[in-house]
Structure 1
Amino acid sequence: MTVAPLLLAAGDGALALVQTDWVAQRLRAAGIAVRVVPVHTASAGYSALRTAVAVGEADVAVHSYKDLPTAADPRVVVAAVPERADPRDALVARDGMVLGQLPAGAVLGTGSRRRCTQLRALGLGFQMVPIDGDVDARIRRVDDGEVDGVVVAAAGLARLGRIDRATELLDPLQMLPAPGQAALACECRVDDLDTEHLLGTVLDDAGVRAAVTAERALLASMAAACIAPVGALADVVEDLDDEGRVVLRLFLRGAAATVDDGILRSSATVPYSDGPYSTGPCSGGPYSDGEPTDAEKLGRQVAAELLDLGAGALGTDPALRGLGRGLMGNE
């Protein structure tokens, strides 16, 4: 009996195709037959991919997680969040320069208010100009001398084989990435339990899922669209408890702009576990009390702290007014 291949919907653009192929390769390595189905997304972005899955034209949609709205779509479910690429932002600058080498007044291109606000907060005197287009188009702006540098997602550069163009990978202490940056979301129909189980078993990374859940809960709590000046990054880290045992904790950092383009920061941690003693004392690994991590609660906690600090009125860089929502790598 021939088993029908799993159909993976891939959106327009080089990055979307590379991301979908990355997922396809891992499924094939697990012995699963797959076929990539091109879907014309144009300005519809994630919506077109979801519709293709919902109507049965594909079984799975692969998204850049940061491009998805925080509101759930009742037609689909996120069945897997695979291992994450480097979540940092990257500088691509002329003459191989890093941020500290660029002169005051240097012109940096970015389509993101989040990046713009955090760059301004460094106090290095940069001028920011709005740019859009795919990764290669942005790099050409540097090569053609239109700007001194651009800031893009390191993951996008790496997935496209262009990470060698990065002149600096920006420390999250300087530049917190967008919530969900560098993570993928693999969605299937909400009633397709077999595919949901398969994707979860083969692809899902519980730690990455928890981290991205916390980041997106922060974003949702601040009622921000994915292009709003909010940064967040969560990690599962090791710590020692009061009895000297190694424990895992989910650590979330958040940043938000104020109305005058200042930056407010907050962070918090909670114990991390993806199940009872999954890496517990019997295995010699980090101790777990068996309680699943409430990543959403952590995100809401950090968001509440940022709002209490005065982040209720999100800043808007005048140079970037009028830009639409960032989709398919437009951050």
Structure 2
Amino acid sequence: MNGPTALKLGTRRSKLAMAQSGMVAEQVRQLTGRPVELVEITTFGDVSREQLAQIGGTGVFVSALRDALLAGEIDFAVHSLKDLPTTPAEGLTLAAIPVREDPRDALVARDGLTFEELVAAAAALGRPARVGTGSPRRMAQLNAWARSLGGAVETVPIRGNVDTRIGFVTSGELDAVVLAAAGLSRLGRLGEATQLIPVEAVLPAPGQGALAVECAAGNPAGLALAAQLAELDDPFTRAAVTAERSLLAALEAGCSAPVGALADLVADGQISELRLRGVVGTTDGTQLVQMSITGATPESADDAAVLGRELAAEMLAKGAAGLMGEREL
């Protein structure tokens, strides 16, 4: 007797993507009672060796997965939400955004140093600390943070998987690298971080730490699966990342723009509100527009999106547009 047909889950081939997808696959197996088969798909972002800022950033890690969904080659896909363009994709639906991992950035530095110690140690040697990151957002805020400490960093553009990036530190080529804490956690390697960077110093990318589960919406099977997968959705995570991504969209900035954002609940006794913080800066960190807004706990994702648009309007009024370079139209 044949069992239920396997669901095909599309994923990027990297260790991190496979780990993330494997976690979701197990949840889907338990939810649906159907086996889940991982289908590895190579994206443009995986094969290009250019820096993300040069190849556009937006959608380079998701387009091939979305094409496979629309072609019916896979039943659903798992993405890192921060890689997902803010514009909805025609024919697809965001079925679930599971509970978010730690959204913060993590420092992996030589000799177990924190960022403050690293900057001070480099200054004592009469040089800036060499810190690897391919993210303009991180570059802007790390440079500003170092300056506030009375020191300096030289941000070095890097790409590659977690092993490659941490290898720059262990080889002595760089003093430190900055990675997403969520990725290290999902790989079981968070212990290699020498510091979880406080969001007061560096705001994460919009949606960082969250996953997106996407299905086709143009056929009954896809819609039925999306309805099942909605059980994996975490309403607070969805509201928070919707506010962050709404800010990014209203700034007309893409995934590789120097924009940081984080929404969190602020509880005061019986009343809780959603606070959204945003930052835009030049990559050298000399100019930052950093602002926050607080609103009632959203009843829906639409309410959260309004908060993001309101903060974007305030930041644009303070000159944010001029700090982002070329904006997406």
State whether residues 20 and 36 of structure 1, in contact with CA within 8 Å, keep that contact through their aligned partners in structure 2.
Answer: no
Q: Which of these residues, 299, 313, 318, is aligned with residue 322 of structure 2?
A: 313
Q: Give the Å deviation of 1:248.
A: 2.8
Distance 2:298 2:278 in 1: 21
Distance 1:101 1:210 in 2: 36
Q: TM-score normalised to the size of structure 2?
A: 0.85
Q: Give the Å deviation of 1:163.
A: 0.7
Q: Which moved more, 1:191-200 or 1:74-83?
A: 191-200
> Which AA in structure 2 matches 1:119?
L
Q: Which of these residues, 82, 89, 95, is aligned with residue 79 of structure 1?
A: 95
Distance 2:33 2:295 in 1: 36
> Which AA in structure 2 matches 1:314?
L
Q: Give the Å deviation of 1:58.
A: 1.1
Q: Which moved more, 1:113-122 or 1:192-201?
A: 192-201
- Give the structure with the larger helix fraction: 2
Q: Structure 2: 5+ residue runs without aligned partners?
A: 45-59
State whether residues 65 and 180 of structure 1, in contact with CA within 8 Å, keep that contact through their aligned partners in structure 2.
Answer: yes
Distance 2:323 2:254 in 1: 11
Distance 2:324 2:73 in 1: 41
State whether residues 85 and 183 of structure 1, in contact with CA within 8 Å, keep that contact through their aligned partners in structure 2.
Answer: yes
Structure 1 segment 46-125 matched on structure 2, within 5 A: 46-102=62-118, 103-104=122-123, 105-122=128-145, 123=147, 124-125=151-152
Who is 2:235 aligned against?
A: 206
Who is 1:24 aligned against?
A: 25
Task: After superposition, give the CA deviation of every residue in 1:136-193 in whole Å (9 maximum; x if it has no partner).
Answer: 1000000000000001100111111111110000000000000010100000011322
Q: What SS class does the counterpart of residue 200 from structure 1 fall into?
A: helix
Task: After superposition, give the CA deviation of every residue in 1:7-58 in whole Å (9 maximum; x if it has no partner).
Answer: 2112111111111101011122335313223232231521111111111111
Q: Give the Å deviation of 1:293.
A: 6.0
Task: Spell out structure 1 runs of 4+ moving beyond 6 A.
Answer: none
Q: What SS class does the counterpart of residue 321 from structure 2 fall into?
A: coil
Q: What SS class does the counterpart of residue 116 from structure 1 fall into?
A: helix
Distance 2:158 2:244 in 1: 25
State whether residues 92 and 150 of structure 1, in contact with CA within 8 Å, keep that contact through their aligned partners in structure 2.
Answer: yes
Distance 1:258 1:109 in 2: 17
Distance 2:272 2:223 in 1: 30
Who is 1:296 aligned against?
A: 305
Q: What SS class does the counterpart of residue 313 from structure 1 fall into?
A: helix
Q: Which of these residues, 296, 299, 316, is aligned with residue 271 of structure 1?
A: 296
Q: Give the Å deviation of 1:194.
A: 0.9
Distance 2:42 2:283 in 1: 34
State whether residues 248 and 273 of structure 1, in contact with CA within 8 Å, keep that contact through their aligned partners in structure 2.
Answer: no
Distance 1:140 1:259 in 2: 24
State whether residues 32 and 228 of structure 2, in contact with CA within 8 Å, keep that contact through their aligned partners in structure 1.
Answer: no
State whether residues 18 and 160 of structure 1, in contact with CA within 8 Å, keep that contact through their aligned partners in structure 2.
Answer: yes
Distance 1:59 1:239 in 2: 43
State whether residues 176 and 254 of structure 1, in contact with CA within 8 Å, keep that contact through their aligned partners in structure 2.
Answer: yes
Q: Give the Å deviation of 1:2.
A: 4.1
Q: What SS class does the counterpart of residue 322 from structure 2 fall into?
A: coil
Who is 2:157 aligned against?
A: 130
Who is 1:248 aligned against?
A: 272
Distance 1:96 1:229 in 2: 27
State whether residues 143 and 284 of structure 2, in contact with CA within 8 Å, keep that contact through their aligned partners in structure 1.
Answer: no
Give % identity: 47
State whether residues 272 and 293 of structure 1, in contact with CA within 8 Å, keep that contact through their aligned partners in structure 2.
Answer: no
State whether residues 15 and 159 of structure 1, in contact with CA within 8 Å, keep that contact through their aligned partners in structure 2.
Answer: yes
